[in-house]
Amino acid sequence: MGLRETLTQILSEYSTAKTALLGGHPLAQFIRGQAAVAVADALGSEADGLIVQASPGQGNWAAVPWISIFDPAITTSATRGYYVVYLFHATKKIVHLSLNQGTTAIREEFGARARGVLIDRAEFMRKRVSEFQKTLPAVSIELGSDARLPGDYAAGHAMGVTYPSTRYQTKIPCRRTFAMLSTHIAHGPFVVVSKGTPSRNLIY
């Protein structure tokens, strides 16, 4: 199944699927398996060395499912670092392709101030890679949910593209683009390498 069909299936079926139990649900299995494969296939040889993971939630359905592309030199998890991710709107047939941040680590460190920190860091990321603004023009996203994680994703969004259902793209940013984004951000003056982990985290 191609990327366009994959995105369409998730958006078409997710709201109904959430009324059933997550465990063993066919759509949950599809998201974790075939959806991640579809993104990797769309990247082609550019996916070499990258990790593609997708999640409909753990234990319960997520308000917003996601498909992420991780560079192991930066992060291997959606909880820390920064990465490229497909985020699905909770109620509308809209997909956001987002350069985003690991929100869990930020919330654990900063607590109630986490959203403000995420917004500040997203702005910093945009300044570091301003040459990508024409390619990734969406500097804000809305995910249609009041749940904590979607709100944090929206705050952590630095830049990207928003695709309504009529304009799903079958080509996603190649590894060269992602590597350039990573390099520009990682060599900024406010970066440290976390001990015991390959991820780089922006700090102030």
Task: Calculate mean pLDDT across residues 178-190.
Answer: 48
Give pLDDT, residue 166.
Answer: 56
Give pLDDT, residue 180.
Answer: 53
- Tokens 């406010």 — which residue? 190
> Over 80: is that where the pLDDT of 46 sits?
no
Give pLDDT, residue 114.
Answer: 96
The encoded tokens of residue 110 equal: 């900063």
Query: Is pTM beyond 0.75 here?
Result: yes
* Strand extents, DSSP E, 77-158: 82-88, 94-101
Query: Alpha-carbon torsion 70, 76, 79, 82, what sign?
Result: negative
Q: What is the pLDDT of residues 165-183, one digit of tens each?
A: 655 554 555 445 555 555 5
* Separation of alpha carbons 161 and 3, rounded Å: 15
